[in-house]
Amino acid sequence: MQLETFLRHQGYSKKQIRQSFLQEKIFIDGRTPRRIGQTIDPGYQKIFLEGEQIKGERHHYFILHKPQGYVTSSWGSVPQTVYELLPPAWRNVPYVGRLDKNTTGLLFFTNNGQLAKVMQQPSSHVVKTYRVTTLEPLAATDSQKFQDGIIIDANTLCRPADFILCDDHTALVTLTEGKFHQVKKMFLSVGKKVIALERLSFGPLQLPKDLGVGQARSLTLGEFNQIRDFFQ
């Protein structure tokens, strides 16, 4: 959540919070915040105002190895949502960056709303890597096309994307934007139909090799420290 929102919930007035911020009397893990709306987690971080530690509950952060056939939609909204794979205590935690029904791989969840907002806004350019399998054979020349930027939807130019050819029908693609069905549309633009799509990474988070399909787990401390780069 935002620093100011957290402190308001603790009973501090907007005026008092802003005065303390301007006077550099607010500290997060021993440092003054860059801005009053900075993303925080009071359960992981030590927050002081006017010398008093302000404690709060930590947010939830977890990842799911999404299987094919599950819809990235809220619990109970449609049959077979990703929330059916989660324990009841996690079913009210929002996902960050949806995957369509037939796309598999890494899906991140958190109830830290400010973090989710930052990670999903286009200006953050969150890096995402996908393993792509195509019906038609791929060519070495496809790599340059992706690096130059591919046009989709007739006139939408995508940002340059990294393309690593694995075999005749498989490639790894890394991009920094998330337009609707973007990966599938990019491959259609070079005459290739995607028949399997798996997300291997989202920002600094990687799909763990030991996380089985349909399984979910909380972030490790190391993974949490990596996403703290988005606490801005």
Q: Mind listing the domains of the chain with CATH numbers? A: 3-53 (3.10.290), 61-122+216-230 (3.30.70.580), 127-202 (3.30.70.1560)
- Provide the whole-model pTM: 0.92
Taking only the tens place, the pLDDT of each residue in 101-160 is 999 999 999 999 999 999 999 889 999 999 999 999 999 999 999 999 999 998 899 999
Please give the Cα distance from 110 to 213 (Å, whole number).
20
Please give the Cα distance from 156 to 179 (Å, whole number).
10
Q: Which of 29, 41, 100, 210 is catalytic?
A: 100
Contact 135, 123 (CB under 8 A): no
Q: What is the pLDDT of residue 8?
A: 95
Nearest by Cα to 70 from 104, 121, 22:
104
Tokens encoding 144: 């340059």
| Residue 29 annotated among the catalytic residues of the structure | no
